[in-house]
Structure 1
Amino acid sequence: NTVTAQTRLWFNPGRLESLYIVPGTFAVVLWIFPSLLTAIAMVKEREKGTILQVYASSISAVELLLGKGLAYWLIAVCEAIAVIGLGVFVFQLQFVGNPIPLLIGTCLFLADSILFGLMLGVKAESQAEAVQGASLIGFITSLLLSGFIYPLNNIPFPLSLVPNVVPARYFIDITRDAFVRGTGWTGVWFSLLMLVVLGFFFFTISRKGLDQMQLDTDS
């Protein structure tokens, strides 16, 4: 008897481009704009000298970062609702699994974007420098080194190490799982964990940068 092999696509059997492109677009859009707005807002505090008023008060660097970050995180949540809602409505995306990982992952990813913007704002000397940093570092990595356009296994070494610290790479995995694969917690738990780790890293760098600025101002 002749055995005939039949190829079947496990995910996206209709090969709809929207199921592949749109979830990745969520990550790129939600990474660029929140981080850019936060970086500009943070560096303006230094340019206008209002950061000195904060140093003269009893507010710590952690409280400043959390307060400013929370305000822009709420704005980013509204943006995420609009962007994801528009994508679902226009391209007829549907959840194929548990939506809770996507909800938690979105909150963590937005926090990473905000903290990344704060880190740039602390390190930048001007608004132009903050915009360039958000555009070059944030946009290029989220677009080219996140798996959005090119498969990660096609990126040559040692450039292939960079996606390991790109938050968009993990959020794309979460969004594509929610709308394409549907594996749930078992498929995205590592991506959620990495978003927490990267967020903590960005926050630590920002806090240390503010501490150094405060010491310089006092002296």
Structure 2
Amino acid sequence: MRRVFSQCLKELNQFRRDRLTVALAFVLPLAVLLIYGFAIRLEAKNIPLAVQDFDNSFLSRTYVERLFATNQFVPTPLAGSAPTIALDRGEAKATVVIPPDFERRLKSGESVTVQALIDGTDVNNARVIQNSLRATTQFFIRSSGLVPEQAGSPIQPRVRLWFNPGRREALYIVPGIFGVILWVFPSMLASIALVREKEQGTIVQVYASDLSAVEWLLGKELAYLIVGLGEALVVMVVATLLFGLRFRGDPTTLLVGTFIYLSAAVAFGLLVGARAGNQTGAVQGTAIAGFLTALLLSGFIYRLENIPFPLSLLSNVIPARYFIEVTRDAFVRGTGWVGVWYAPLAIALIGGFFFRTATRVLHRMQFKD
């Protein structure tokens, strides 16, 4: 163990002297946190909506005001007499056409048909607009008193949002960012450090010494695990201050899960570094195999159930998937070990596989002659 700690101290000293590596370790993760935390928004807002009101009555104007009172739509000119011109030009995402007898038919108890033309280029956005227009129309009918309460459905649901009643998107996005940042940057630093030994030729000294591949890798693993813990502390503290995150329930799941997750991330970086021939290859390997999978196949943005087969099978061996479940539970749900007990175990198994594979690769390199 003394040789492992000596290797760890050597790596930390080299890391401290390289300002570019220090910036890569702490400045870039904060930049990614700020960009993703403030830029990614899953709830559609400020949707340009054009309205063609042929009735121009009190009720029709009230209905239009109700549409824009949701703070989801912003008014957009029609840009012509036809309701589709603004859609064709891309100036509006939807157009609502109110018929000329809107108020008269409502007051007489007759049904009224209001036309809604929606740009279906973005399917998800179109579905959001459609649901919002329907919900706003139903609320307008109820609040105007034109339809009595007893005329509605006999079942009246009372919906309450659990865990996140304020619908704060930061509570969903930011804990997911932790899974991406703490996988990409520790693994990238570890892979670059290992490949640098190859490029500078210092790895030959390791081959000539009695230091085993396991001891050498454990020294690097421990060093960049310490760096990764520093990254995790800085990123989570900044996220807590900027986005108002708070622990929910037992914090030990996050503490244990973060330690295991960072160990797996460094082991993955060592595996990539053992295979790569230069620093460019190491960066590309961690970026493609690490960043893209953590971003797209972990449930960070897209639901895992929406991933098509056979990529859905690949998501089962992505450690970021399990760590994101831990972080979202720690900062949103707060169920503790009962809800996420399997996640640290899965991460540990995958990380152990990465480290074992890297050890075998370097063992063959060390004794191939």
Q: Which structure carries more relative contact order (alpha carbon 8 Å, separation 6+)?
A: 1
- Residue 142 of structure 1 corresponds to 294
The correspondence for 2:254, drawn from 78, 81, 102, is 102
CA shift, 1:56, in A, is 1.1
SS at match of 1:169: helix
- Listed one character per residue, the Cα deviations across residues 171-214 of structure 1 (whole Å, up to 9, x for unaligned) are 10000000111110011111011011011100111000011101
- Residue 133 of structure 1 corresponds to 285
- The aligned amino acid for 1:97 is G
Alignment of 1:50 onto 2:202: yes
CA shift, 1:4, in A, is 1.6
CA shift, 1:50, in A, is 1.0
State the alpha-carbon separation in 1 of the partners of residues 355 and 288 from structure 2: 20
- Listed one character per residue, the Cα deviations across residues 119-152 of structure 1 (whole Å, up to 9, x for unaligned) are 0000111111111101111110011110001000
Alignment RMSD: 1.1
Q: Which runs of 5+ in 2 are unaligned?
A: 1-149
The correspondence for 1:113, drawn from 248, 265, 277, is 265
- Residue 197 of structure 1 corresponds to 349
Q: Which runs of 5+ in 1 are unaligned?
A: none
State the alpha-carbon separation in 1 of the partners of residues 175 and 296 from structure 2: 15
- Residue 82 of structure 1 corresponds to 234
Structure of larger gyration radius: 2
State the alpha-carbon separation in 1 of the partners of residues 358 and 335 from structure 2: 35
- Listed one character per residue, the Cα deviations across residues 81-107 of structure 1 (whole Å, up to 9, x for unaligned) are 000011011111111110001000001
- Listed one character per residue, the Cα deviations across residues 7-47 of structure 1 (whole Å, up to 9, x for unaligned) are 22222121100000000011111111111111011011112
The correspondence for 1:27, drawn from 164, 179, 183, is 179
The correspondence for 2:169, drawn from 11, 17, 27, is 17
SS at match of 1:156: coil
SS at match of 1:93: coil
CA shift, 1:55, in A, is 1.4
CA shift, 1:3, in A, is 3.3
Q: Which has the higher helix share?
A: 1
Alignment of 1:123 onto 2:123: no
SS at match of 1:140: helix
The correspondence for 2:243, drawn from 77, 80, 91, is 91
SS at match of 1:11: coil
State the alpha-carbon separation in 2 of the partners of residues 215 and 168 from structure 1: 34
State the alpha-carbon separation in 2 of the partners of residues 81 and 88 from structure 1: 11
TM-score (norm 2): 0.58
Runs of 4+ in 1 over 4 A off after TM superposition: none
- Residue 125 of structure 2 corresponds to none
- Residue 39 of structure 1 corresponds to 191
- The aligned amino acid for 1:95 is F
State the alpha-carbon separation in 2 of the partners of residues 150 and 11 from structure 1: 20
State the alpha-carbon separation in 2 of the partners of residues 112 and 28 from structure 1: 13
CA shift, 1:215, in A, is 2.0
TM-score (norm 1): 0.96
SS at match of 1:183: coil
State the alpha-carbon separation in 1 of the partners of residues 305 and 358 from structure 2: 32
Q: Which has the higher strand share?
A: 2
- Residue 69 of structure 2 corresponds to none
Alignment of 1:151 onto 2:285: no
